[in-house]
Amino acid sequence: MNLRMQYARPRKLDQATELLDALGTGAMVIAGGQELMPYLNYGRISPSIFMDISGLAELEGIEETAQGISIGALTVHRQIQINPVINSALPLLSFAAAQIGGGRQVHNRGTIGGNIVAMHALYDIAPALIALRAQIEVAGNQGLRTVPLTELLVETDHDLGTKTLLTRIVIPAMDPASGWAYEKLKITEGSYGSANAAAIVLRKPDGDLQVDLVVGAVAEQPVDLTGPLSERLRDNPDTDLDEQIDAVCQAVITDPISDQRGHAEYRKAMACVVAKRAVAAAIKKIKTS
């Protein structure tokens, strides 16, 4: 363990990626610190150097672009809750960010980038981001690349925050005609969910429903039920929607987690419950004009 931990605060993105590249292993990127500081306090991590990215202007701001709303990785949860652009184009994200545990202190300090990079099974907003088909911009020594968030989630050994930097999150604006909901089953106001679900529902011109549905806190990673559910709805158009969601949850959630919030069987059952609630609430919100 290196007892003399060092610190660097680059002021430009290319400086930051160059430095990460030069430092090799042992460097760790820190922004709000809400994920890393508890580990540091308890000696669970001992990076040789902390690279503080809070001075990088390229990672700030919320902009409307041709690809969608581009949110800087340093944007804190509180900004996502109250920013007018996000409120109107991505209301599901604003709402999900308000459900993040830990209280306002964490909302004021925790960043959307840090939340994504941490990839904690219980964290809020990942289900919403996946349902919203978010893309992430990653900067490394090879330059900038844009990938779907889901692609990152399958890489169990990603190098974000150690070799590369998450710079921005780009999310297509929601269809104003869609209904949306984020349901979280939790023990206390500020706690992690025992199960959560994000749903976006759109009524297609033919009257059928297009349902984007992602459940979280039930497996190591959020489970996207959209594809399997849409196949089921197509093949069994006359079956009750709740029954279809139940069937899809049962089929797709194959490896539920167990922790102090409940054992695997309970978690899977609750994931079914919040998934159905989220879809029902989203349908109610569909604008019928």
Partner 1 sequence: MAVDMQELVEDSVLLQCRVNETPCEEFIHPTTSLLDFLRENLLLTGTHMGCMTGHCGACTVMVDGSIVKSCITLAASVQRKKISTIEGLGEKESLHPVQAAFCEESGFQCAYCAPGMLLSTVELLNETPDPSDAEIRSALSGNLCRCTGYQSIVRAVRTAAKLYTADKETQE
Q: List residues near partner 1 by CB under 8 A.
A: 4-10, 15, 18-19, 22-23, 30, 33-34, 37-38, 40-42, 49-50, 52, 54, 78, 101-106, 108-109, 188-190
For residue 44, what are the contacts with CB-CB under 8 A and spacing of at least 6?
A: none
Q: Which is nearer to partner 1, 68 or 114 (CB)?
A: 114
Enumerate the β-bridge partners of residue 224.
214
* One-letter amino acid for residue 230 of the chain: S
CB of 74 to partner 1, least distance (A): 11
Question: What is residue 241's three-state secondary structure?
Answer: helix
CB of 248 vs partner 1, minimal distance in Å: 33
DSSP letter string, 5-62? -EEE--SSHHHHHHHHHHH-TTEEEESS-TTHHHHHHTTS---SEEEE-TT-GGG--E
Residue type, 169: I
Nearest distance from residue 41's CB to partner 1, in Å? Answer: 4
Helix, coil or strand: residue 110: coil
Q: Which is nearer to partner 1, 110 or 179 (CB)?
A: 110
27, 54, 117, 140, 164 from 22: Cα distances, Å: 10, 20, 21, 12, 12
What does the alpha-carbon distance between residue 124 and residue 116 come to, in Å, rounded to a whole number?
A: 10
What is the nearest approach in angstroms of partner 1 to the Cβ of residue 10? 6
Q: Say how far apart CA 52 and CA 32 lie, in whole Å.
A: 9
Q: How far apart are CA 96 and CA 33, in angstroms?
A: 20
Q: Which one, 34 or 164, has the nearer CB to partner 1? A: 34
**Cβ closer to partner 1: 67 or 105?**
105
Minimum Å distance from CB 98 to partner 1? 9
Nearer to partner 1 by Cβ, of 53 and 218: the residue is 53
Which lies closer to partner 1 via its Cβ, residue 112 or residue 132? 112
Please, what is the minimum distance in Å from the beta carbon of residue 101 to partner 1?
8
Q: How many Å apart are CA 146 and CA 142, to the nearest integer?
A: 12
Cβ nearer to partner 1, comparing 188 with 254: 188
Query: Least separation, in Å, of the C-beta of 50 and partner 1?
Result: 6
Q: How far is the CB of 78 from partner 1 (least distance, A)?
A: 7
Sign of the Cα torsion 35, 37, 38, 42 reads: positive
Angle at 105 between CA 162 and CA 3, to 5 degrees: 40
Q: Which is nearer to partner 1, 32 or 179 (CB)?
A: 32
Beta bridge partners of 5: none
